[in-house]
Amino acid sequence: MKSVGTINEILDLFYNRVDDISIHTKHTVANGKYGYELKDGILYCRGKQIGVCNKFVPFVIRLHDIEDYFYRPLVKLKNQKIRGKINVDIYNICRQNSEVLIANTYGMLTSLWNGVNQNLTVTRHILEKDVTNQKFADVRTHQIKYNNARKGWRYALKDILSICKEYGLDADTIINRTQSFNFTYVEYRGFAKNYTRLSSIFNLKDNIRITLSPKENLIISGKILYWQTIRAKKVILPYCRNYTEFKKLWSNRTTRKELKSIIRIKFNEYLDNQKAIEEAKAKKYREELEVLIQEFRNYKISSIPYQWRQYGTYAVMRYESTNGVVRLWNNAVIKLKDFTDFAHFFAACVQNNIQLNRKTCYNYKIQFGGYYVWEVQANDLWNAMWGGQCITIMDVIIICNRIGISLKECKVTRKQLLSQFEKRQEM
């Protein structure tokens, strides 16, 4: 038995498909109960099964409660990175409608096959309802989920066939059988939960062949176009004041072609108009931002709202001698010692012309302030710390002069600077 201290260590083991050892952790959550356990390839949370993996099987199955199930990607596509470290395929399955998962190969393949068929059946049923209802906002989302479910079904079939061939298992006992699904899915309307019971009996091997008719697909595409243009008031057409009038034109091949052409022209005009409005708005806020920056530096205001900050190209900070802290323009504060360390590091970067960008420092991370870790992924270090805006060298110099910090020339090489970073553990 091996003890693991943190959830990240457990997840690392999980995604590495460790199934030949028993992993137990004494890591506790807020209520004092056990957090996560990994035993024989099955991941538990507070005694509840939440996923399963097997080092011989090239995917991971995650279980979700029914309330969250339809608000997650139904399948993560191939070569998806988990926490930026490794590539692994994830299949999401609804807990309430799944068999109890076991870590052996046959049990995982069976559960996976049931899960992806359930994904496909439910998403198709929801999309079929969209053909007749008057809701337009979610149609595109339901269409995307249905297409993802079809992709997940195909990926699962490929994985099952290849694994069965490799280990000499009978794939027909898993794939070619009739299954009855009797399950409940959830839709949120306001704060209420509406439960709908759906029962289907079909051959799982033929599930992918059950599709919407060309007419149903045409209605769906029309509703998406209507919502994204006319219904959202981006395009105003006098002869399409409601969906009934739009539907009449959309149902006819000739008028549909003309309608699409007119909407395309009107929509481009709308985008050009919106661009002009946004440019005028940005100009106004940038002018006001300069005034707010001066007021912040003169200690007249404690922070600058994001409404104006988002149009800035650099961040601003000031020294507060009464508190002994450096305050950022978003009202965040940095301890004086932390700022001093940053200032010297900043000076070393500038004086040695070293750009700490994503390309050069992708495999490094820096700890700043003692508690928080920012990965160096922006244009430079200070850009990453302040959320997209640059801290100018003048800001640092002014504050350093006020508090008596001497920024001497630092003869530091790139290698020496990077040694201050903690190297990521390679998988």
User: Final residue of a domain: which of 298, 321, 337?
Assistant: 298
Residues 341 and 376 in one domain: yes
Residue 168 covered by a domain:
no
Residues 243 and 343 in one domain: no
Q: What pLDDT, on a 0 to 100 scale, did the predictor assign at position 371?
A: 36
Q: How many residues does the chain have?
A: 427
pLDDT grade, residue 327 (50/70/90)? confident
Work out the average pLDDT over 39-59. Answer: 78
- The residue whose two tokens read 């052409």 is 261
Element (H, E) at 312: none
Say yes or no: 388 and 360 in one domain: yes
Q: Which residues of 121-135 are buried (b: 16+ CB within 10 A; e: fewer)?
A: bbbbebbeebbeeee
pTM of this structure: 0.66
CB 127 within 8 A of CB 212: yes
Q: Give the other-Cβ count within 10 Å of 226's Cβ.
A: 21
Residue 135 counted as domain residue:
no
The pLDDT of 205-209, averaged and rounded, is 91
Residue 288 belongs to a domain: yes
Residues 280 and 376 in one domain: no
Q: In terms of pLDDT, which residue wins out, 251 or 81?
A: 251
Domain boundary among 269, 298, 327: 298
Mean pLDDT to the nearest integer, 50-70 = 75
Burial of 308 (0-12, 13-18, 19+ CB in 10 A): middle
Q: Are residues 267 and 367 both part of a single domain? A: no
- Cα Rg, the chain, nearest whole Å: 29
Q: Domain span at residue 386?
A: 313-423
Whether residue 322 is found in the same domain as residue 412: yes
57 versus 390: the higher-pLDDT residue is 57
Could you tell me whether strands 364-368 and 36-39 are parallel, antiparallel, or unpaired per DSSP bridges? Answer: unpaired
Report, as an integer, the average pLDDT of 129-145: 87
**Residue 419 falls inside a structural domain:** yes
User: 326 and 382: one domain?
Assistant: yes
Is 136 inside any structural domain? no
Final residue in a domain of this structure, among 263, 298, 333: 298
In a domain, residue 395? The reply is: yes
Tell me the average pLDDT across 91-115.
75
Give the SS3 label for residue 195. strand
3-state secondary structure at position 42? strand
Both 371 and 289 in one domain: the answer is: no
Domain co-membership, 223 together with 271: yes
Please state at what angle helix 139-167 crosses helix 105-132, rounded to 10 degrees: 160
User: Is 179 part of any domain?
Assistant: no
Q: Residue 183 and residue 122: Cα distance in Å, rounded? A: 9
Cβ atoms of residues 339 and 323 within 8 Å: no
Together in a domain, 278 and 321: no
DSSP secondary structure, 157-180, as one string: HHHHHHHHHHHT--THHHHSSEEE
Residue of 366, 390, 361 lying closest to 377 (CA atoms): 361
Question: What's the structural domain count of the chain?
Answer: 2
- Are 318 and 291 part of one and the same domain? no
Same domain for 287 and 346?
no
Q: Averaged over 258-264, what is the pLDDT?
A: 91
Residue 357 in domain: yes
Q: Which one has a higher pLDDT value, 105 or 183? A: 105
Give the mean pLDDT of 280-296. 93
Percent of the chain with pLDDT over 90: 19
Residue 374 pairs in a beta bridge with 366
What local confidence, expressed as pLDDT, does residue 276 receive? 93
